[in-house]
Amino acid sequence: MTAPTTTYAFVTVDVFTTERFAGNPLAVILDASGMSDECMQAIAAEFGYSESTFVLPPRDPAHTAEVRIFTPVTEVPFAGHPNVGTAFVLANMPEVFGKAPGDRLVFEEKAGLVEVEVQRKDGRAVSASIVAPKPLSIGSTVDTALLARCASLTGADIETARHAPVFVSVGLKFIVAEVASLEALGRAKPELGALAEAVERYAHENCDCALFLYTRQGGNHLRARMFAPFDNVPEDPATGSASAALGAYLATLAGEPDLEMDFRIEQGVEMKRRSEIGIRVSKKDGVATRVAISGASVEILRGTLHA
């Protein structure tokens, strides 16, 4: 006899793009009340996107919602495109858990509270800007030769004049590294043996060694790729949390103690899912005090699932 099921509504969107079938796809389960952790994980695996979000009533009624984020293999405390996409979806609903959504939302997440500002056109939300929930954390530098092997590159492909490859986080940890050219970035691909070696060597970082590689395109325009094969994400078309950590780190390296820096980061081009991520970093007394991630979203489909 088949076990009884519950029906859940969901919406999928493409995030960090204004075009359908570009950017980073996201599934948003609109009310996951009563759903087990195991069920959430199974649904995220079924969708197969880099992340899916599960919206729950807020623990504090002053907030908009609790949002849980799952990759196909694990729950994560924070990520950029799930927040931007979820904010876009909820802001276009008539109400969220009995309240009309305004232009400022607050999500409760494992990493802390995430503040969201929604931008509208003709009354509908078209984009959102979120504030990373944690300050910049800078971890270990990574051996350049090992990093190059992790990305199937040579040591000459890694640009170290400005900074060595390094672990950084504003809620989710990545290794960021600058590569010397757009051509080298295009050749990059994850090498599992070297990545396993990195995970073991840097076990104290408690990280699956997701790689965020970038090259400069002039000014603060960057082109990037992200590989996280141990999270079942061979390549990600848009990674807001990594972009935010990179922007905060680069702002920290800048000489001025007080400044605001804007970055435009293109990602997903090699996957034919071009994304554009906006990052704004506020720096005070040499410290990145606020990091905002912004981008547009486009709705793709609506439906129901049975779990």
Per the annotation, the verdict on 46 as an active-site residue is no
Q: What is the DSSP string of 125-192?
A: EEEEEEE-SS--EEEEE--HHHHHHHTT--GGGEE-SS---EEEESSSEEEEEEES-HHHHHH----H
Q: How far apart are CA 189 and CA 97, in angstroms?
A: 43
Count of C-beta atoms within a 10 Å radius of residue 123:
6
Joined together, the tokens standing for residue 124 give 């509908």
- Asked if 141 and 165 touch (Cβ cutoff 8 Å), the reply is yes
Pick the catalytic residue from 51, 109, 159, 191: 51
Instruction: Find out whether 120 and 88 touch, Cβ atoms under 8 Å.
Output: no
Helices (H), the chain: 37-47, 80-91, 144-150, 182-187, 192-201, 240-253
Q: Which of 18, 12, 11, 13 lies closest to 275 in space, CA to CA?
A: 18
- C-beta separation of 262 from 278 below 8 A: yes
Catalytic residues: 51
